[in-house]
Amino acid sequence: MTTTATRDVAESSSVVQRLLDRRHLQKWGLTGVTAVIFATFAIANPAMLKVDNLKNIVSAVSLVGIIAVLMTFVILTGGIDLSVGATMGLSGLLAQGTLGPSQSSTLVAILVALAVGAAVGLVNGSLVAAFGLPAIVVTLGTMTIVRGIALLIGAGSQRAVNRPSSYLTIGGGRMLGLPTPVFIFAGVAALGWFLQARTRFGFVVYAVGENERAARLCGLPVMRVKTLAYILCGAAAGLAGAVLSSQTHTATAVYGTGYELTVIAAVVVGGTSLFGGRGTVPRSVLGALLIGVINNGLNILNVPIAPQLVAQGVVIVAAIAFDQYLRREG
């Protein structure tokens, strides 16, 4: 009996060690945490499992997810973009200004939003890549500038967005029983995955994040790739700004406030290292969903907003600590 018990203990210990192995934690840790948190909320309140609520979770994270997918590339290079929230506000305002009664104005408005976002990204990327300025300082500066421009244009007032119907469908329509933003999120995620896994751009992004100096010595287009990463992230923020204005039927300079922190949280919680070189688009999508599950579960349990912010902060700090643990183990 003693021998059998000893063998059982040894086998159990071996299983635990395998589960705590760095590779297993990297691959399955986030999925497991998401499942456990979701199950906990579902036990506390079965309303969590209702189909409408599941739709609400995905819909609520769509705007954050659209930006998080392409913010992943910025953070993979070792950078960060704090200007995405302000870019959302400015893009929505300028898109609203191009809308008219014709359905064709929808395409113009979307292109304007994308162009505004891409322009902000180009400024960020050029200053970071070409001049070697710290990304956090550059994007903090552009965040302030862009928000100021939006306030000058919008004068702090809300502008109605009530036409054309095709533009309102972008944020408020439904397809196959799901809100349209969910499909936009899915499309951006598919694009992000393709860029990461199937293009040279994705390869160079990882190389830059791992060792930028070595990437330069190998002749890789470091400056161009870093700049493009910021352009893509800015364009995503511009698109999200247009979707938000369509969703709320209004455009105002203060839209997007605070989004930058939630987006960065989604990417970091998804396992993308703030030091660059490690992370994937699918995991950023899962990170956005995890934050959505937490926020939705706390809302269902009628938890006030202040504890919700505390919980979100704890999750972010825990994710960064976990990243540090994996780096030490590596």
Which domains can be identified in the chain, with CATH numbers?
Answer: 36-329 (1.10.3470)
113: pLDDT confidence band, cut at 50, 70 and 90? very high
Burial pattern 283-296, b for ≥16 Cβ within 10 A else e, equals bbbbbbbbbbbbbb
Q: Distance (Å, rounded) from C-alpha 179 to C-alpha 271?
A: 27
Where does the chain have alpha helices with state H?
Answer: 2-19, 22-44, 51-60, 62-76, 84-98, 105-131, 135-154, 165-172, 180-198, 200-210, 212-217, 222-248, 259-269, 281-300, 305-329
Token pair in block for residue 153: 């244009």
DSSP 8-state code for residue 250: E
Q: Determine the 3-state secondary structure of 178 from DSSP.
A: strand
Q: Distance (Å, rounded) from C-alpha 257 to C-alpha 113?
A: 17
First-to-last alpha carbon distance for the chain, in angstroms, is 39
The structure's pTM equals 0.89
CB atoms within 10 A of CB 329: 12
Q: Determine the 3-state secondary structure of 2 from DSSP.
A: helix
The kind and range of the H/E element at 159 are strand 159-160
DSSP 8-state code for residue 160: E
pLDDT in tens, 71-112: 999 999 999 999 999 999 999 999 999 998 888 899 999 999
- Cα–Cα distances (Å) from 56 to 187, 300, 312, in that order, read 18, 12, 19
pLDDT in tens, 165-180: 999 999 989 998 899 9
φ, ψ at 256 (rounded to 5°): 95, -5
DSSP 8-state code for residue 179: E
Q: Is the peptide bond before 179 cis (omega within 30 degrees of 0)?
A: no
pLDDT in tens, 247-302: 999 999 999 998 998 999 899 888 888 888 889 999 999 999 989 998 899 899 88
Strand pairing class (159-160; 178-179)? unpaired
19: pLDDT confidence band, cut at 50, 70 and 90? very low
**In the predicted structure, residue 160 carries a pLDDT above the cut 80:** yes
Q: Distance (Å, rounded) from C-alpha 139 to C-alpha 116?
A: 15
pLDDT in tens, 188-229: 999 999 999 999 999 999 999 999 999 999 999 999 999 999
